[in-house]
Amino acid sequence: MKHAMTYVAGLVPAFLLAAGLAGAAEMTAGEKQLYDAAKKEGSVTWYVSQTTTEFADGMCGLFKKKYAGVECNVVRASGQVIFQRLVQELQAKAVQGDLMSTNDDGQMLQLKEQGALAQFAPENLKDMVPELRALADKENYWITSGVSPLVIAYNTKLVTEAEAPKNWTDLADPKWKGQVAIGHPSFSGSVGLWTILMNDLYGWDFFTKIEKNKPQIGRSVADGHNLVASGERKVALAPLPLILSDSILKKVPIGVIYPTDGALLPPSATAIMKDAPHPNAARLFENFLLGPEIAEYFAKDYRYPLRAGVPLAEGMRPLDSYKTKSIATVDGIKKLPEVQEKFRDTFGI
Amino acid sequence: MDGLVLRKLGRRFGAVDAVLDFDLHIKPGEFVSLLGPSGCGKTTTLRMIAGFIDPTSGSIELDGKILSAPSGSVPPEKRGMSMIFQSYAIWPNMTVSQNVAFGLNLRKLPSDEVKKRVGAVLETVRMSHLADRYPAELSGGQQQRVALARAVVIRPAVLLLDEPLSNLDANLREEMRFEIKRMHDEFKITSVYVTHDQGEAMVTSDRIAVMNNGRLEQIDTPYALYSRPKTRFVASFIGRTNFLSGNCGNHMIDFAGFSVPLAMIGEEVTGGGPITVSIRPQAMKLSATEVPRDKVINLQGSVQQSAFLGETWDYVFQSKDSGLQFRVAAPPADVFQVGAPAWLQIDPAQIVPIAD
Amino acid sequence: MTSVSHPVSTTWSQDQPAKVRVPWHQRLQPANLLWLFLAGILVVLIVAPMWTLVVSSFTDAKTGGWTLHNYVEAYGKERHITALTNTLKMGAVVVVLKLAFGVPLAWACTRTDMPGRNFVRYSVFGAFIMPPYLAGVGWILLAGPNTGWINRVWHSLSGSTEPLVNIFSFGGLVLVTAIGGFFLVFVLVSSAFEMINSEMEDAANILGAGPFKTAMKVTFPLVMPAIIGSALLSFLGAIALYGVPALISIPARYPVVVIQLTEFFSFPLRIQVAAAYSIPLLLITAAMLGLQKLILRRKGYVSVSGKGGERRIVKLGRWRWVLFAYCFCVVALSVLMPLFVLLLAAFSDSWTTGFSFSNLTLSNFHYVLFEHSSSQKALVGSIGLGIVAATVAITLALFIAYIVQRRLIPFSGLLAFLAVSPYVVPGIVLAIGFYAAYALPPIALYGTYTIMALAFVTRFLPIAFTTSSAGVRSIHPEMEEAVRILGGGRVTALRHVVGPLLKRTLAGGWLLIFVPAAQELSTAIFLVGPTTRVVSVVLLDLSEEGELEKLAALGSLLLIIIVAVVALGMRYLGRDFMLRRS
């Protein structure tokens, strides 16, 4: 009996080991190869404006758990700030970020034209939602790493659903005077695209009207969300996942309006830098972004999973169930400087 | 040449010559004072000897080795000298014995040797009982003793003293003069002492170099300096004196109202024409009646002013014939009323011709 | 002519050797090389970055040729000019506010019998420890137009829906900027008050002037140089501050120069234009310095000098409580209120819900300490950079102050000028200079701690130099001469005598640098790399995400560490070391 116990006790670690091996065995040959090379590089540095720091830290945590021995450093800032940093590094010929994720794919196009990006097609591309995959670069200089529709957020304590704005132009209604919050197109990538969209739809007049409502202008697109959540402002331009996760998980009094004239669908893009100090770790990470762990993580946080077949979180509407609009990458680059300049002129900042 | 030699030493600050053409030879073991009013260049000279200031002309050499020249100087730390500063410059962050041991430690002496020497020198300056005190806990005089001990313990080639007593009160100063003299007699260190106080210089020095306006006026023993000053400046700076103008003939010097044969004057005088002499108040004597004596000049007149200084009387005597006034020192017993007739006797041997 | 044998004639002075030279090896003092080396360091730290800044402002980014185009681009837009005039306007108002805060407090604490003088002193000291951007966050919590606590109280009391106060306004911007910097006015003016001998005031009293007249005609004119000097520094500090405008001026829609500079640093990156745009800041500074000199000279002010002597305390009677009320208001605005809400927010689940026990949590601290990807490292980085910058700056400054005070090399006055010159270079401009000079190849220090440490050392060198210089001046040169004549070199003198004697002064200076260096934002903002982020930058990023509770928690941690270091310093140095001018 005693012997048997010892035997069983000895079996447990052996079993665990086997399970671990099985986990490793799930890796494809290409993945294994990248992992080994990445372990030699030791770490990956990820510049991200696509998500909040907390969320990005979570993604990094999952990566480290799956690929032990590869450190993951998150550097999070708003889209333009991250981009500025990268441009500084390119000019300094001292690239430190391995890969970058942004909500403004126009930046990717610019970097691609500068020859700053590396071409890479991760294995997991094949499992992606085809519509999302189609938003990425055809030559695989960047992948689509998420979609966070920009919608209208309102504070459910201060505003009833009936009172809430129904579409973007409602934000210019004088009844929201002193109660609107928006981001700044010179700081936030997705706000830049939104500014282009509004200008395309309604002309600059939209912004002169908004200006009369004295909106609070934040830097990041998340700013508006936080202002509404805290009740500092009643309505704001905000990314959908933030609103859903805060309202459902944290019971924050914030609600979503899917604007009838179309939520902005800025594809988030992730690319590997050509001079990345840890190229293999970067590839491993990019592939990981499209893997099942992240898809689940996204779904749990009320984001649209990138992999086909992963169910949406409860309370989320499928992307095709409401009206969305997006800005073509080329248009984005072409129009951004102009609207940034106009925005500064109109809002004086 | 052995000893400390200053040759044609000069230092110019801007357009001003602080020291000019200064020649001095200090023999090994000799104690020489640089005496003069403030601004005469004595401190500049001392600091040049120390190496803190480079000369702009001339040179300084020690035992035949050149230390300073306009082209460059041996830095102070390589001169093997030591110095006592006006502010004492006792380091407040070190105890008495650490202060004294500092120079020895720099010379990398074994620690028991350092201990022995520090103990001995503190004994000499009577500071042994305060060896572990910090300077802030010492009186001015005690700090001075520490400075002295610190300076002599390294057995320097030359000891420089920069007005070391000027911050002490009168009694302590008196005491420390003799202390310094005693230390010099004990260690026989070649010493250069800067002071503006003739009393200090007289007590301590083998020879005194009197400086004025950056130049050396006269260098002599204290006695010679007093009794035979060579310039008007020296005569008036050291003690009090009477200046008399006269005319020098072939055999006689003629003053207003009297004449003195050249042969009777203590100094040899050549040439002729106008001459100035110095007569110390002590070289004269007042009496109520005429006391004709050989080789003594007798003048009739009266006492104009009197002041009692304790150890002497200070009278002003006016000659009846010429109206010349003399200051005369007299012992306390020789009492004269103001206005009283008197006779003045002058010892011709103590009439000193001076350069103007 | 009568000739008397010449008194100084000697026989041996004639046979002087033709050429008198001391052999070079005997003249050699190795320390002299050190002085030159230090002068070289100053060139690296100050001259090169500033020179690069000026040169690159005239350099064509593409061709590398000479151009004025950068200036055209920098000033060709009305908006850019507006930012410049806005900055000047803001600076001017901030100066007035800082003086209104600092001068009465300084007077009250040094010359009156006001109650609670020590309380006021320590609170003002708290204003020094609290970085401006944290005070800014505190004020956003207090005076956000809709959810700020002041406004919520106002809403519930008055039933109004209009905000009582709005931090996102010009008023808010200048208030927060002023409360972050009036400490300097307080310190400089306090020490000037302490230097005035009461005899001067007594003289006026004897001649029949009452206390008020005496204060106006004698006391204040005597501290005028200190007031003017601190006004100048206040102005410079205000126009160069980055954190507060980043938090407030964007929502307040009041563009200022530093915000405009960040635009030049965004895509497309235009360092040359940024350089051109920052030149006026330098010129304004130079002009202000010139003005200060002119004013002080024309009025023939004698610098307040001499020992403090006996200082009479003004008896205020009933007015002492009025004065205390005023001081309390200033202290509450600047320290107590923002600090209180900041701490409360740090321990709150959500700062908007207000205070309740269910709302209390430690999760924010847990998050910033253990979960947030860079804050732990940033804390280490900030404190480390603070320590390195303070130590290097003080050491360097001690040597330079020594060289200057003892005139060890020709043109040592120039060294002094160089050492204090960073004072007038706004931190953000300094960062641009450093970026232009050292971030790019061939030196390529981008993203290293080295470039940040170098920039921080430069930024705080003036404080270090002023402190060390005053210290060295207080040491009688004979202290070192005594070392040298006994056989020690200058370095020995520095190590065994000057250094130990200045220990307290230097340690005080060290803390005066450590505190702002550990919080520095303006210089860091363009120089941080992904692995070299400091707390100030992380805080700014958190503010961008609206994570004010977490921000408050991280900010509190930074404050706690700094306070701990300062408290250690106070134990060692005595309580009032920073309120005293060494």
| Contact predicate C393/C236, CB 8 Å | no
Mean pLDDT value across residues A80-95? 81
Q: Which of A32-41, B305-314, C75-84 has the highest mean pLDDT?
A: A32-41
Chain B residues with CB under 8 Å of C488 CB are 77, 102, 106
Chain C residues with CB under 8 Å of A43 CB are none
Question: Which residues 275-294 of A are in CB contact (within 8 Å) with C?
Answer: none
Interface test with C, best of A219, A223, A249, A252 (most C CBs within 10 A): A219
Which among A186, A219, A252 is the nearest to C544, CB-wise? Answer: A219
What pLDDT was estimated at residue A9? 44
**Is a pLDDT exceeding 70 seen at residue A287?**
yes
**Is a pLDDT exceeding 50 seen at residue C10?**
no
Categorize the per-residue pLDDT at A11 as very low, low, confident or very high, splitting at 50, 70 and 90. Answer: very low
Tell whether B12 and B140 lie within a shared domain.
yes
| Contact predicate C365/C553, CB 8 Å | yes
Tell whether B101 and B172 lie within a shared domain.
yes
Categorize the per-residue pLDDT at C272 as very low, low, confident or very high, splitting at 50, 70 and 90. Answer: confident
What pLDDT was estimated at residue C2? 42
Mean pLDDT value across residues C259-270? 76
Chain C residues with CB under 8 Å of A179 CB are 146
The more confidently predicted of residues C18 and A60 is A60
User: Beta partners for A267?
Assistant: A147
Tell whether B58 and B186 lie within a shared domain.
yes
Return d(Cα A304, Cα A317) in angstroms, integer. Answer: 10
- Going by C-beta distance under 8 Å and a sequence separation of 6 or more, which residues neighbour residue B307? B313, B314
Taken in order C68, C70, C74, C78, the sign of the CA dihedral is positive
Return d(Cα A339, Cα A326) in angstroms, integer. Answer: 16
Chain C residues with CB under 8 Å of A87 CB are 267-269
- Going by C-beta distance under 8 Å and a sequence separation of 6 or more, which residues neighbour residue C394? C464, C467, C468, C506, C509, C510, C513
Closest residue in C to A46 (Cα) is: C530
Q: What b/e sequence results for C437-470 when a residue is b if at least 16 CB atoms lie within 10 Å of its CB, and e otherwise?
A: bbbbeeeebbbbbebbbbbbbbbbbbbbbbbbbb
- CATH label of the domain that carries residue B136: 3.40.50.300
**Is a pLDDT exceeding 60 seen at residue C582?**
no
Chain A residues with CB under 8 Å of C435 CB are 88
Tell whether B63 and B84 lie within a shared domain.
yes
- Interface ipTM > 0.90: no
Q: Which of A281-290, B159-168, C462-471 has the highest mean pLDDT?
A: A281-290
Q: Give the residue carrying structure tokens 């052996």.
A: A14
What pLDDT was estimated at residue A16? 43
The burial of C167, by beta-carbon neighbours within 10 Å (0-12 exposed, 13-18 middle, 19 or more buried), is given as buried
pLDDT in tens, C173-198: 999 999 988 888 998 888 888 777 67
Mean pLDDT value across residues A26-48? 91
User: Beta partners for B279?
Assistant: B242, B351
- Going by C-beta distance under 8 Å and a sequence separation of 6 or more, which residues neighbour residue A52? A76, A222, A242, C545, C547
Amino acid at A74: V
pLDDT in tens, A51-76: 888 889 899 999 999 999 999 988 88
Mean pLDDT, chain C, as a whole number? 81
SS3 assignment, position C451:
helix
The tokens describing C218, both together, are 């004698």
**Is a pLDDT exceeding 80 seen at residue C520?**
yes
| Contact predicate B278/B235, CB 8 Å | yes
Which among C526, C530, C546 is the nearest to A227, CB-wise? Answer: C546
For chain C, the residues whose C-beta falls within 8 A of a C-beta of chain B are 1-8, 10, 12-13, 16, 20-22, 24, 26-27, 29, 476, 478-479, 481-489, 492, 496-497, 500-501
Please give the DSSP secondary-structure letter assigned to residue A234.
Answer: S
What does the DSSP assignment read for C55-99? HHHTB-TTT--B-SHHHHHHHSSHHHHHHHHHHHHHHHHHHHHHH
Return d(Cα C246, Cα C258) in angstroms, integer. Answer: 8
Please measure the distance between the N-terminal and C-terminal CA atoms of chain B and give it in whole angstroms. 33
Which among C27, C482, C488 is the nearest to B72, CB-wise? Answer: C27
Task: List the subunits that have 3+ CB pairs under 8 angstroms with A.
Answer: C
Number of domains in chain B: 2
**Is a pLDDT exceeding 70 seen at residue A8?**
no
What pLDDT was estimated at residue C5? 40
CB of A114 within 8 Å of any CB in chain C? Answer: no
Tell me phi and psi for residue B280, to 5 degrees: -70, 150
Q: What is the dihedral of CA A82, A85, A86, A88, to 10 degrees?
A: 160
Please measure the distance between the N-terminal and C-terminal CA atoms of chain C and give it in whole angstroms. 64
Closest Cα of chain B to C28: distance in Å? 8
Tell whether B186 and B253 lie within a shared domain.
no
Which residue, B232, B258, B276, sits at the end of a domain? B232
Tell whether B271 and B298 lie within a shared domain.
yes
Could you list the beta-strand ranges (E) of chain A. Answer: 43-48, 71-76, 99-102, 117-118, 142-147, 150-155, 180-182, 216-217, 235-239, 254-257, 263-264, 267-273, 324-325
Which among B77, B271, B354 is the nearest to C484, CB-wise? Answer: B77
Closest residue in A to C258 (Cα) is: A349
Cis peptide preceding C268, ω within 30 of 0: yes
Q: Worst-scoring range by mean pLDDT, A100-104, B15-19, B162-166, C29-33?
A: C29-33
Chain A residues with CB under 8 Å of C351 CB are 230
CB of A49 within 8 Å of any CB in chain C? Answer: no
What pLDDT was estimated at residue C574? 63
Interface test with C, best of B93, B155, B230, B265 (most C CBs within 10 A): B93
Question: Which residues 48-107 of B are in CB contact (within 8 Å) with C?
Answer: 50-52, 59, 66-69, 71-83, 85-87, 89-93, 102-103, 106-107
Mean pLDDT, chain B, as a whole number? 88
**Complete domains list, chain A, with CATH:** 2-147+267-316 (3.40.190.10), 150-264+323-347 (3.40.190.10)
**Is a pLDDT exceeding 90 seen at residue C327?**
yes
Asked if the Cβ–Cβ distance from C481 to B83 is below 8 Å, we say yes
Categorize the per-residue pLDDT at C96 as very low, low, confident or very high, splitting at 50, 70 and 90. Answer: very high
Interface test with C, best of B47, B91, B153 (most C CBs within 10 A): B91
Closest Cα of chain C to B179: distance in Å? 21
Class of domain C30-67+362-582: mainly alpha
Question: Which residues 103-122 of B are in CB contact (within 8 Å) with C?
Answer: 103, 106-107
Asked if the Cβ–Cβ distance from C373 to A76 is below 8 Å, we say yes
Helix (H) or strand (E) holding B342: strand B341-346
pLDDT in tens, B138-151: 888 888 889 989 99
Q: What is the dihedral of CA A110, A113, A114, A116, to 10 degrees?
A: 90
Mean pLDDT value across residues A296-316? 90
CB of C446 within 8 Å of any CB in chain A? Answer: yes
Q: How many CB atoms lie within 10 A of CB A262?
A: 18
Examine domains C30-67+362-582 and C73-357 and report if their fold is the same.
yes
Return d(Cα C49, Cα B42) in angstroms, integer. Answer: 48
Which among B52, B67, B150 is the nearest to C481, CB-wise? Answer: B52
Which among B69, B234, B275 is the nearest to C20, CB-wise? Answer: B69
What pLDDT was estimated at residue C508? 84
Categorize the per-residue pLDDT at C28 as very low, low, confident or very high, splitting at 50, 70 and 90. Answer: low
Q: From residue B156, how far is each of B95, B104, B161, B162, C486 by CA, in Å?
A: 22, 11, 12, 16, 9
Q: Which of A50-59, B4-13, C473-482, C500-509 has the highest mean pLDDT?
A: B4-13
What pLDDT was estimated at residue C575? 54
Asked if the Cβ–Cβ distance from C444 to A87 is below 8 Å, we say no
**Is a pLDDT exceeding 80 seen at residue A312?**
yes
**Is a pLDDT exceeding 60 seen at residue A20?**
no
**Is a pLDDT exceeding 90 seen at residue C146?**
no
CB of B30 within 8 Å of any CB in chain C? Answer: no
Tell whether B53 and B176 lie within a shared domain.
yes
Strands A43-48 and A216-217: unpaired
- Structural domain boundaries of chain C? 30-67+362-582, 73-357
Closest Cα of chain C to A74: distance in Å? 6
Tell whether B249 and B344 lie within a shared domain.
yes
Chain C residues with CB under 8 Å of A218 CB are 250-251, 544, 546
Tell me phi and psi for residue C399, to 5 degrees: -65, -45
Chain C residues with CB under 8 Å of A226 CB are 545-548
The tokens describing A145, both together, are 């790493």
CB of A84 within 8 Å of any CB in chain C? Answer: yes
pLDDT in tens, C202-227: 777 777 777 677 777 777 777 888 88
Closest residue in A to C540 (Cα) is: A77
Return d(Cα A263, Cα A11) in angstroms, integer. Answer: 56
**Is a pLDDT exceeding 80 seen at residue C232?**
yes
What pLDDT was estimated at residue A251? 83
- CATH label of the domain that carries residue B263: 2.40.50.140
Helix (H) or strand (E) holding A190: helix A189-202
Tell whether B227 and B269 lie within a shared domain.
no
Tell whether B174 and B251 lie within a shared domain.
no
Mean pLDDT value across residues C148-171? 84
Categorize the per-residue pLDDT at C420 as very low, low, confident or very high, splitting at 50, 70 and 90. Answer: confident
- Going by C-beta distance under 8 Å and a sequence separation of 6 or more, which residues neighbour residue A51? A59, A76, A101, A146
Mean pLDDT value across residues A182-206? 90
Tell whether B214 and B277 lie within a shared domain.
no
Give the predicted TM-score (pTM) of the model.
0.77
Q: Worst-scoring range by mean pLDDT, B1-10, C208-217, C434-443, C521-530?
A: C208-217
CB of A94 within 8 Å of any CB in chain C? Answer: yes
Closest Cα of chain C to A75: distance in Å? 6
Mean pLDDT, chain A, as a whole number? 86
Question: Which residues 32-71 of C are in CB contact (within 8 Å) with A?
Answer: none
**Is a pLDDT exceeding 60 seen at residue C4?**
no
Tell whether B58 and B102 lie within a shared domain.
yes
Please measure the distance between the N-terminal and C-terminal CA atoms of chain A and give it in whole angstroms. 80
Closest Cα of chain C to B139: distance in Å? 18
Which among C253, C271, C371 is the nearest to A349, CB-wise? Answer: C253
Question: Which residues 308-337 of B are in CB contact (within 8 Å) with C?
Answer: none
Q: Worst-scoring range by mean pLDDT, A148-152, A343-347, C4-8, C112-116?
A: C4-8
Structural domain boundaries enclosing B262? 240-354
What pLDDT was estimated at residue C580? 47
Which residue, B209, B232, B255, sits at the end of a domain? B232
What pLDDT was estimated at residue B253? 86
Q: From residue C237, how far is each of A344, C230, C240, C244, C427 by CA, in Å?
A: 26, 10, 5, 12, 9
Chain C residues with CB under 8 Å of A85 CB are 530
- Could you tell me which CATH number the domain at C73-357 has? 1.10.3720.10
- Going by C-beta distance under 8 Å and a sequence separation of 6 or more, which residues neighbour residue C562? C129, C514, C515, C518, C519
Return d(Cα C368, Cα A312) in angstroms, integer. Answer: 30
| Contact predicate A302/A311, CB 8 Å | no
Chain C residues with CB under 8 Å of A84 CB are 265-267, 269
Return d(Cα B282, Cα B299) in angstroms, integer. Answer: 16
Closest Cα of chain A to C98: distance in Å? 26
How many beta-carbon pairs under 8 angstroms link B with C? Answer: 136
Which among A81, A93, A97 is the nearest to C530, CB-wise? Answer: A97
